[in-house]
Amino acid sequence: MYDSKPWLQHYPDEIPATLEYSNRPVQQYLVNAAQQFPEKTAIHFMGKEMNYRELYNETLAFSSYLQQIGITKGDCVAIMLPNTPQAVISYFGIIMAGGIVVQTNPLYTERELEYQMKDSGAKAIITLDILYPRASKVMPQTNLQHIIVTAIKEYLPFPKNLVYPFIQKKQYGIVVNVKHEGNTHLFKEIIKTKPNKLVEYECNIEEDLALLQYTGGTTGLPKGVMLTHKNLVANSTMCRAWLYKSKPGEESVLGIVPFFHVYGMTTVLILTVMQANKMIIMPKFDALDTLKTIQKQRPTLFPGAPTIYIGLLNHPDLKKYDLSSIDSCISGSAALPHEVQEEFETITGGKLVEGYGLTESSPVTHSNFLWDRPRVKGSIGVPWPDTEARIVSTETGEPMPVGEIGEIIIKGPQVMKGYWNRPEETADTLKDGWLYTGDLGYMDEKGYFYVVDRKKDMIIAGGYNIYPREIEEVLYEHPDVLEVVAAGIPDPYRGETVKAYLVLKEGSKVTPDELNQFARKYLAAYKAPRLYEFRDELPKTAVGKILRRTLVEEEMRKIESESQKHA
């Protein structure tokens, strides 16, 4: 067994190589939690709490209302909300009604929203009052028949609920008054209604979709990833097995990672309800608010992203706050710099490890061990239970020897059904049950995996293959660097050359020459950046992944503009 899956030799006794999975749909987790722990706190949101009985009852009312307005099995319903109680209620309510959740980023422009609504064919959308104008404008061009409107203040405690509208008006310069009539519905009115008996649909968990999760669209138009009930049940069950020391019903989970990102949805929203734990929800990441929340609410589990941990570690008031409640953190969405990992563990006394996954795999496939095993620097860890992984040649598709770089491919019950209405792209990505990730990496002799970069992000300069992640890891070790991303930009001589974009720590006066000298101590000359650009911030996705392609596209536009000037 270990010859084909050498990583299994490292599994502690508490983690089985294969797991048993429920054959019930995702919403059953909420039903179970409400039945077994009705009085237990399910959600803490900015000072207000609701227990599992209340969460279930409001979800039931919402689900029943969706059926009353015509949502039936297989209909897509969009959620365009930040992390709020309404987002949790909407998520389970849609699935309970037989619908398919379409997670939608609240930061989307009208153009992006229109594209996603057209592509998914969503019949209804749940959104905030301040986003109502945006949703109503795209409605005529899409299949949207209903808009359900809610407001942050509806789940705030007194007196925050009275003050918040004034803060919102000052921040966004908008006040929206919406009536509960026609095709516009108010969330607060819906949950007051007495639910009708739900029409129950038979659910084939291996075939029926629970979620349509759109990819980030960094390499073209976003694609709808079809995730079944089985995909989500499998990945959350794997996550529970990996966190074998956590105690169901006794943990508090910090929910900063957006639920509209698949990582936040699985590791916070679903897993917390699955284990009947407490979910501490924050609508957006603010370093100071997060430090205050950790000290006051004492979360034990903290799924996050590198930019979140970096933001906390570099806050000037960090040492004023007690973060010792944090026991376990799995970092996702981007590479975790080693020095960030070590510093965060020193500050909290907890464990922070890097994981790996994709939207197409629900999302997690690999992780380092949290306990009882030595950490492997720079590794994304080993495959999770029931997950196979290989490194194959990008040219021939044949398996690569240990230590050789190739494309990472994945097989397991968490792998998507395919791309929504895109059979050709599905066939390109799923082959014989294997998910071709587009990530380049290698496996060492012990079965630990390493990501060197995205296939599309690899830089070819003067005939050499250069991996941006390696450059970034080195520059992150410089004491003045807060954030960095490396990219390949056109070069008339080398084909491409390496450019580093950096955000420096406050008060830093480091120069490009000094950074270049530092980089060349640890990198071969051909890998070291030839260009350095300092910025106040780097473009990021909502979950904190730095958008390398956005920077490259900016460079391309500059080059094109310059060439037109000299034409």
Higher pLDDT, 264 or 332: 264
Tell me, what's the pLDDT at 218? 41
pLDDT in tens, 350-405: 999 999 999 999 999 999 999 999 889 889 999 999 999 999 998 899 999 999 99
Read off the pTM.
0.86
219 — pLDDT class (breaks 50, 70, 90): very low
- Residue 3 pLDDT level (bands cut at 50, 70, 90): low
Confidence of residue 162 (pLDDT cuts 50, 70, 90): confident
Which tens digits make up the pLDDT trace of 414-469? 999 999 999 999 999 999 999 999 999 999 999 999 998 777 788 878 767 788 88
d(CA 358, CA 378): 18
pLDDT of residue 4: 83
d(CA 351, CA 310): 15
Of residues 492 and 546, more confidence is placed in: 546
Confidence of residue 91 (pLDDT cuts 50, 70, 90): very high
- pLDDT, tens digit, for every residue of 470-528? 899 899 999 999 999 999 998 877 778 999 999 999 999 999 999 999 999 998 888 99
Which is more confidently placed, 270 or 490? 270
Q: Which residue has the higher pLDDT, 161 or 17?
A: 17
**pLDDT number for residue 452:** 86
Least confident among 27-36, 85-94, 252-261, 451-460: 451-460
As a whole number of angstroms, the distance between CA 321 and CA 281 comes to 19
Q: What are the residues whose beta carbons fall under 8 Å from the beta carbon of 505, sequence distance 6 or more?
A: 314, 479, 480, 481, 482
Looking at residue 334, what is its pLDDT?
Answer: 75
Confidence of residue 176 (pLDDT cuts 50, 70, 90): confident
Q: Give per-residue pLDDT as tens, 96-153.
A: 999 999 999 898 889 889 999 999 999 999 999 999 999 999 999 999 999 999 999 9
- Single out the residue of 356, 96, 326 nearest to residue 235, CA to CA: 356
Among candidate residues 514, 504, 500, the one with its CA nearest the CA of residue 536: 504
Instruction: At 233, give phi and psi (nearest 5°).
Output: -60, -40
Where do the domains of the chain lie, and which CATH numbers do they carry?
23-231 (3.40.50.980), 285-455 (3.40.50.12780), 458-565 (3.30.300.30)
pLDDT at 1 over 50: no
What average pLDDT is seen over the chain?
93
At residue 251, the pLDDT reads: 97
Angle at 231 (CA atoms; ends 304, 86), nearest 5 degrees: 55
Name the DSSP letter for residue 195.
Answer: P
- pLDDT for position 333: 75
pLDDT at 217: 47
